[in-house]
Amino acid sequence: MAGLQDLAQKLNVGVIGGGYAGMAAAVALAERGIPVTVFESARQLGGRARGVVHQDTQLDNGQHLLLGCYRQTLRLIEQVGGNLEQDFLRLPLQLDLHGEFSLRAPHLPAPLHLLIALLSAQGLPFGARLNAARFMLALRRMNFRLSCDMTVAELLAQHGQDAEPAQKLWEPLCIAALNTPIRKASARVLLNVLRDALNRSRADSDMLLPRVDFTALFPQRAASYVEERGGKVLTSCGVEAITPKDSGIELTTAEGTTIFSHVICAAPPVAAAKLLRSFAALENTVAQINGLEHQPIYTIYLRYPAHVTLPHPMIGLHRRFSQWLFDKGQIAGQHGLLAAVISAEGIHQELPQEQLAQKVIAELREEFGIAGQPEWFKVIAEKRATFCCAPNLQRPSQQTALPGLLLAGDYTAGDYPATLEGAVLSGLRCASLISA
Ligand SMILES: Cc1cc2nc3c(=O)[nH]c(=O)nc-3n(C[C@H](O)[C@H](O)[C@H](O)COP(=O)(O)OP(=O)(O)OC[C@H]3O[C@@H](n4cnc5c(N)ncnc54)[C@H](O)[C@@H]3O)c2cc1C
């Protein structure tokens, strides 16, 4: 015990970035009694998962969804004072493409719940459903592992998943999970997500829709947790330079300089590459980061009168601009507020925002009879929402070649695509590497 305390006293960690990765690392360090200071360049915490206010309405910079298998994210939310029952609307696995396809998992243990869901799905001929169930069983036999990575489209073709199940089932699933089209997406990473979400316990495939904004859900609570344990969380305080010194690593901000025993760089890829590019020892790391392509996510929020609702809290559309629609009234009591999400690259990127919003408004009218114009709409285009999760991607490791400097973030090495859970796992790994 005394040894651990001595170790904690010798350590002093600076974390660059107060997104989910940086705050996860900070919580894990603070929990172990290690002094930690978080530097966040923005005015608020959360990064790519942050609350945004528009027209006095609480929004997020993009509608997010968590899966029951995001165990570390959910554990940390509870650790810093969240209550999963109150913070989320929890839905059993369901995929509804309005009028085209519907899959619902019954209350049975995994993986039976999925097999029954696939066999009883509506909107696919029986042969295609049987084939989809066979595909899942084949993946289970392979332990969800591939000896060679390939694109998801190639994997589907190998397993006889023809155009209809690919378009109605696997493609929406792949885009939702990896934010990458099936012709570009890594089958190996998709299988990692399917392994964890569909194959262990039934609750792992649950979909959790947050009732609170993403800054409040975790980063803000995490900041209180860290500060209560003597740490610091500084917003509007971007790190301008990282300088290795004999005594540790110096961080420079507009306020001055501070020396730390260790630094975790949890900034997003482009910002991280900028901070690291002057170090010869990190040439490979910076090349790996610069080699990442990005994929966008667009969220279109629409404020309708309070009585306007959708048939389900979350519903998909087939061959439309809007891929997924969320009814914030049913999810979070924000009646009349709808969110349309368009993930990954596509022709929507070529449209001016006003025109894109009008397309979504027309789709809501044609699919659900929602007449008239909304009071307002807000298009949030995150052009670099996630990295493009291609096969055989070399992602930088958390441990860098510069002693004392670690990397966290959804883009760093790991099983998961760019997700909250991937970000959190990377932050926890950095904390473990330091405290080990
Ligand atoms: C619109 C959208 C929808 C998404 N939907 C989902 C979803 O449904 N489910 C899911 O799991 N994931 C989703 N994601 C992905 C998820 O949001 C990210 O994987 C995750 O938030 C990344 O966290 P991070 O901490 O790695 O990086 P970031 O969130 O990017 O955090 C990095 C932080 O570093 C700060 N920073 C940058 N430079 C500096 C500097 N020099 N000094 C100090 N601070 C700096 C930034 O301001 C930022 O706060 C979505 C992402 C977007 C954009």
398 with 285, same domain: the answer is yes
Give the total number of structural domains in the chain. Answer: 3
Taking only the tens place, the pLDDT of each residue in 160-179 is 998 888 899 999 999 999 99
In a domain, 61, yes or no: no
The residues that bridge with 265 in the sheet, in sequence order, are 16, 407
With the most atoms of ligand 1 within 8 angstroms of its CB, the residue from 37, 60, 64, 276 to mutate is 64
Q: Which residues contact 93 (CB under 8 A, 6 or more apart)?
A: 103, 104, 105, 113, 114, 117, 198, 205, 206, 207
Q: Give just the sign of the alpha carbon dihedral 129, 132, 138, 140.
A: negative
218 with 262, same domain: the answer is yes
Does the CB atom of residue 409 touch ligand 1 within 6 A? Answer: yes
Which residue's CA is the nearest one to ligand 1's atom 20?
A: 420
CA 102-107-112 angle, to 5 degrees, is: 80
Taking phi over 0 as left and psi of -120 to 50 as alpha, with beta for the rest, 45 belongs to beta
225 with 326, same domain: the answer is no
Which residue's CA is the nearest one to ligand 1's atom 48?
A: 47
In a domain, 126, yes or no: yes
Q: Give just the sign of the alpha carbon dihedral 245, 251, 253, 255.
A: negative
Q: Which of 205, 227, 254 is the last residue of a domain?
A: 205
Q: Which of 205, 221, 242 is the last residue of a domain?
A: 205
Kindly give the distance from the C-alpha atom of residue 145 to the centroid of ligand 1, in angstroms, as a whole number: 28
Does the CB atom of residue 93 touch ligand 1 within 6 A? Answer: no
In this prediction, residue 274 has a pLDDT band, given cuts at 50, 70 and 90, of: very high
121 with 24, same domain: the answer is no
Q: What is the mean pLDDT of residues 198-219?
A: 95
In a domain, 58, yes or no: no
101 with 162, same domain: the answer is yes
181 with 104, same domain: the answer is yes
What pLDDT, on the 0 to 100 scale, is given for residue 379? 98
329 with 283, same domain: the answer is no
What's the CA gap between 273 and 270, in Å, rounded? 5
Domain of residue 327, CATH code:
3.90.660.10
Which residue's CA is the nearest one to ligand 1's atom 12?
A: 419
Residue 391 has pLDDT above 90, yes or no: yes
221, two tokens? 């609570």
150 with 8, same domain: the answer is no
Which H helix or E strand runs over 245? Answer: strand 241-245
What pLDDT, on the 0 to 100 scale, is given for residue 3? 53
In this prediction, residue 1 has a pLDDT band, given cuts at 50, 70 and 90, of: very low
Contact 289, 269 (CB under 8 A): yes
Cβ atoms within 10 A of the Cβ of 109, count?
A: 8
Q: What is the mean pLDDT of residues 350-355?
A: 97
135, two tokens? 């595909």
In a domain, 57, yes or no: no
Residue 348 has what DSSP assignment? Answer: G
Does the CB atom of residue 238 touch ligand 1 within 6 A? Answer: yes
Nearest 5°: phi and psi at 396?
-65, 145
In a domain, 159, yes or no: yes
Q: Which of 205, 232, 263 is the last residue of a domain?
A: 205
107 with 188, same domain: the answer is yes
Does the CB atom of residue 418 touch ligand 1 within 6 A? Answer: yes
What's the CA gap between 234 and 230, in Å, rounded? 13
In a domain, 59, yes or no: no
What pLDDT, on the 0 to 100 scale, is given for residue 436? 87
Residue 2 has pLDDT above 90, yes or no: no
Sheet holding 66-67, edge to edge: 66-67, 207-210, 88-91
Sheet holding 256-260, edge to edge: 241-245, 248-253, 256-260
Q: Could you give the C-alpha distances from 390 to 111, 139, 334, 344, 423, in angstroms and in order?
A: 27, 20, 37, 13, 18
What pLDDT, on the 0 to 100 scale, is given for residue 8? 57
User: Judging by beta carbons within 10 Å of its beta carbon (0-12, 13-18, 19+), is residue 58 exposed, middle or buried?
Assistant: middle
Contact 188, 149 (CB under 8 A): yes
What pLDDT, on the 0 to 100 scale, is given for residue 16? 98
pLDDT, mean over the chain: 95
What pLDDT, on the 0 to 100 scale, is given for residue 122? 96
Taking only the tens place, the pLDDT of each residue in 129-147 is 999 999 999 999 999 999 9
In a domain, 273, yes or no: yes
Cβ atoms within 10 A of the Cβ of 344, count?
A: 26
What pLDDT, on the 0 to 100 scale, is given for residue 10? 87
What's the CA gap between 4 and 130, in Å, rounded? 56
185 with 108, same domain: the answer is yes
Taking only the tens place, the pLDDT of each residue in 74-126 is 999 999 999 999 999 999 999 999 999 999 988 888 889 999 999 999 999 99
Does the CB atom of residue 252 touch ligand 1 within 6 A? Answer: no
Extract the runs of DSSP E, i.e. beta strands, from 323-375.
324-327, 337-343
Does the CB atom of residue 381 touch ligand 1 within 6 A? Answer: no
* Beta pairing class for 101-104 and 57-60: unpaired
The one-letter code for the residue type at 358 is Q
* Beta pairing class for 248-253 and 241-245: antiparallel
Domain of residue 404, CATH code:
3.50.50.60
In a domain, 306, yes or no: yes
Taking only the tens place, the pLDDT of each residue in 3-49 is 555 555 689 999 999 999 999 999 999 999 999 999 999 999 999 99
What pLDDT, on the 0 to 100 scale, is given for residue 110? 85
What's the CA gap between 27 and 12, in Å, rounded? 14
411 with 351, same domain: the answer is no
199 with 128, same domain: the answer is yes
Print the domain residue range for 168.
93-205
